[in-house]
Homo-oligomer: A and B are copies of this chain.
């Protein structure tokens, strides 16, 4: 029996992390609306602390620990944003943090983790190597694992972004969410179901990392090892809790091509003047490239993060 979070956990999370994370603004673009024939509201989690929504889940998970747990510290594996988020949360609570990072993580993301005074532990790319390295850290330190997505506290924390968005923008027909391990999607589903405005939720992922679509369509959790996509935040496969939350509840999972992700990212930089990372551009691409039939609808999009290496643009 696994623990699965509920809407009540999202509401508690919001109280627990208030004052430590930003209530991020919502942007819109008349040009984007004209191109997509929809009314689109962008929740700017790229403007969140650590530059990504991950601050929400990590703060919720770390702040929920008792004194003994805090003394032993926290550990995680992450290609970047979640690592920085756990490091930030641990710094706020003044507890030790250990972050396992694959060798292909971007330098910007590694620097962020170090900035928050966490210990960076290197490993090879791939989920197996990450989990092995993390197990060793836990054996050595007794630290509490804050999993990047397969963790009830993390999922509940991520759901607070959608909760804020639905409070600010009335009568949203649908929210689009990028899908990696399913933390943000799981939390968003909880928030939408509990909020009670009838808002649907659709996940979007890179076709080259389409484990979630395969999982939902087949009814069995599919795991891909090290998929190749420019959306470096979405290389993980759905976790156990995430699959349980998503299967049967998400309206659909749609996919976009790499070139579409890059074009959408460029559009947001060039026209909306917002720095977003490729993962954020995935749901934007689904709209811009008409992968969804949402004409005339009020659409929320969670811009998940904005951490990029400015020395290596994808265009």
Q: Which residues of A contact B (CB under 8 A)?
A: 25, 27, 44, 46-47, 51, 108, 266, 269-270, 272-276, 306, 310-311, 313, 315
Contact: B315 with A313, CB < 8 Å?
no
Q: How far is the CA of A94 from the CA of B273 in the complex (A)?
A: 27
Chain A, interface SS category: mixed
In the bound complex, residues from chain B placing their C-beta under 8 Å from that of A273 are 44, 46-47, 51, 274-276, 306
CB distance from A7 to the nearest CB of B (A): 30
Q: List 23 A-B contacts (CB under 8 A).
A: A25-B25, A27-B47, A44-B273, A46-B273, A47-B272, A47-B273, A51-B273, A108-B270, A266-B310, A269-B275, A269-B310, A270-B275, A270-B310, A273-B274, A273-B275, A273-B276, A273-B306, A274-B274, A274-B275, A275-B275, A310-B313, A310-B315, A311-B315
In the bound complex, residues from chain B placing their C-beta under 8 Å from that of A315 are 310-311
Q: How far is the CA of A46 from the CA of B276 in the complex (A)?
A: 16
In the bound complex, residues from chain B placing their C-beta under 8 Å from that of A51 are 273
In the bound complex, residues from chain B placing their C-beta under 8 Å from that of A108 are 270
In the bound complex, residues from chain B placing their C-beta under 8 Å from that of A311 are 315
In the bound complex, residues from chain B placing their C-beta under 8 Å from that of A47 are 27, 272-273
CB distance from A134 to the nearest CB of B (A): 28
Q: How far is the CA of A165 from the CA of B274 in the complex (A)?
A: 20
Q: How far is the CA of A38 from the CA of B51 in the complex (A)?
A: 22
CB distance from A273 to the nearest CB of B (A): 4
Point out which of A46, A108, A310 has the most chain B C-beta atoms below 10 A from its C-beta.
A310
Q: How far is the CA of A272 from the CA of B22 in the complex (A)?
A: 13
Q: How far is the CA of A303 from the CA of B300 in the complex (A)?
A: 27
Q: How far is the CA of A266 from the CA of B308 in the complex (A)?
A: 12
Q: How far is the CA of A182 from the CA of B6 in the complex (A)?
A: 57
CB distance from A51 to the nearest CB of B (A): 7
A47-B273, A51-B273, A311-B315 are known contacts; what are 10 more A-B pairs with Cβ within 8 Å?
A: A44-B273, A108-B270, A269-B275, A270-B310, A273-B275, A273-B306, A275-B275, A310-B313, A310-B315, A313-B313
CB distance from A274 to the nearest CB of B (A): 6
Q: How far is the CA of A276 from the CA of B47 in the complex (A)?
A: 15
In the bound complex, residues from chain B placing their C-beta under 8 Å from that of A313 are 310, 313
Q: How far is the CA of A269 from the CA of B277 in the complex (A)?
A: 12
Name the residue on B nearest A274 (C-beta).
Answer: B273
Q: How far is the CA of A313 from the CA of B310 in the complex (A)?
A: 9
CB distance from A190 to the nearest CB of B (A): 27
